[in-house]
Amino acid sequence: MKNTTIQKFADRTATIAIVGLGYVGLPLMLRYTDIGFKVLGFDIDREKVARLNRGESYIEHIPAAKIAAARAGLFEATDDFARIGEADAVILCVPTPLNKYREPDMSYVVSTTEAVAPYLRAGQVVSLESTTYPGTTEEELLPRIEARGLKAGQDIFLVYSPEREDPGNPNFETRTIPKVIGGHTPACLEAGIALYQPAIDRVVPVSSTKAAELTKLLENIHRAVNIGLVNEMKIVADKMGIDIHEVIDAAATKPFGFVPYYPGPGLGGHCIPIDPFYLTWKAREYGVNTRFIELAGEVNSAMPDYVIGKVALALNAHKRAVKDSKILILGIAYKKNVDDMRESPSVEVMERLAKLGADIAYADPHVPVFPHLPGHTRFDLSSEPLTAENLAGFDCVVLTTDHDKFDYPLIAQHAKLIIDTRGRFPKDAPHVVKA
């Protein structure tokens, strides 16, 4: 069974099923079709399925031409989970958010597993790529799969291989980012390596699914903790009248023992603001209190309020209150040069300023219309044009996401007051306040 499955991946006759066609699933689909695999894409959002089957893209950095090319040859999108049986591998790329208590919300993983389980068959590889706590694959996927009479390691091959996509990063693509893989059994691992090896330049096997799950959390907690450190350093440096960005750039000249991280208005994206809570939640099961990780989370979570304080003080110095001030937020995506709004700290800044009575607007070349974000204020706004006249009409401009498409000299010349959370404006400009 295992050898037959492996051979299908080696000769590229296998069909790959990708469940969840978002920022992770779509790039993976394109990689597999690029090298000649047939791919079935599954999503519960029928509008997404329809758009993909028309050759359209709904993610800015993925050109529609690539979707159309894949659709013309090897790719089909569907919401019919009965077709799971047509695939030789089933890769799950579904969200793993937090609930309102900041605890793991496993509903997408569980519901997706239950949706595909009735249609699984012997000889398939099932791979979970969603970021999650150690033990998820064994605790949530394994019993639901084996309840169908399929023994993992004999009939079906269960692996965990965390996604490592970095949307908008031109230096890396799906093919060039090493792929960590853990299998439930040695046979599972062998089949999982065979699945990913044709598509990824370097595959990194580890001893278990738990080890692979914890690897992903360590990667992102490492970033969260270091960003928390530099955010705290930013506050100290500001009190001392020192530009933290100058300090980071100087420290980064050390060729060993230092990696530069940069402060901002808070953490955003689908990983860094969320992943630490997955580990702290699971660690409590083992009687471990992850104080260091939680402290970094507290520092990072406080950054939107720190920015609001800076805005209020700066407006006060200009004889203005936050209430009734016209404030323009520059950049509402969670990171530069993308249209991804997930967990964006810019939205928190907007919401808090609006509650204080500010007249809020935004400009973002990647997000022309403010989307509906569940759990957040519904802003009926469109991106403002950045003209000299328009900029001059705002009492304050807050740079929260430093897209390269912004005309920074124009902004610096015509904005009355700039709150800079990203270090893009000259520190000695009298109307620029670092935050």
Residue in this structure with the two tokens 């009479």, named with its chain if needed: 149
Average pLDDT, the chain: 95
Q: Tens digit of pLDDT for each residue in 261-271?
A: 999 999 887 77
The mean per-residue pLDDT over the stretch 220-239 comes to 96
Q: Where in the chain is the domain with CATH 1.10.1040.10?
A: 217-261+271-299
User: What integer pLDDT is reported at residue 267 of this predicted model?
Assistant: 87
In angstroms, the CA 419 to CA 311 distance is 7
Beta-carbon neighbour count of residue 265 at 10 Å?
29
User: May I ask the CATH class of domain 217-261+271-299?
Assistant: mainly alpha
Residue 375 has pLDDT above 90, yes or no: no
Q: Tens digit of pLDDT for each residue in 112-128?
A: 999 999 999 999 999 99
Residue 271 is a catalytic residue = yes
Q: Where in the chain is the domain with CATH 3.40.50.720?
A: 2-207, 302-434
User: What integer pLDDT is reported at residue 168 of this predicted model?
Assistant: 77
pTM of the model: 0.92
CA Rg, the chain, in Å?
Answer: 24
In angstroms, the CA 432 to CA 412 distance is 8
Question: What percent of the chain stands above pLDDT 90?
Answer: 89
What fold does the segment set 302-434 form as a domain? Rossmann fold (3.40.50)
* HEC readout, the chain: CHHHHHHHHHCCCCEEEEECCCCCHHHHHHHHHHCCCEEEEECCCHHHHHHHHCCCCCCCCCCHHHHHHHHHHCEEEECCHHHHHHCCEEEECCCCCECCCCCECCHHHHHHHHHHHHHCCCCCEEEECCCCCCCHHHHHHHHHHHCCCCCECCCEEEEECCCCCCCCCCCCCHHHCCEEEEECCHHHHHHHHHHHCCCCCCEEEECCHHHHHHHHHHHHHHHHHHHHHHHHHHHHHHHCCCCHHHHHHHHCCCCCCCCCCCCCCCCCCCCCCCHHHHHHHHHHHCCCCCHHHHHHHHHHHCHHHHHHHHHHHHHHHCCCCCCCCEEEEECCCCCCCCCCCCCCHHHHHHHHHHHCCCEEEEECCCCCECCCCCCCCCCCCECCCCCHHHHHCCCEEEECCCCCCCCHHHHHHHCCCEEECCCCCCCCCCCEEEC
**Which of residues 395 and 100 earns the better pLDDT score?**
395
- Among 164, 157, 103, 156, which Cα is nearest to 130's? 164
| pLDDT interval class at 308 (50, 70, 90) | very high
Side chain identity at residue 301, one-letter code: S
| pLDDT interval class at 272 (50, 70, 90) | confident
Q: Among the options 93, 188, 271, 396, which is catalytic?
A: 271
Q: Is CATH 3.40.50.720 the classification given to domain 2-207?
A: yes
Q: Tens digit of pLDDT for each residue in 124-172?
A: 999 999 999 999 999 999 999 999 999 999 999 999 999 998 887 888 9
User: What integer pLDDT is reported at residue 119 of this predicted model?
Assistant: 98
Q: How many residues does the chain have?
A: 435
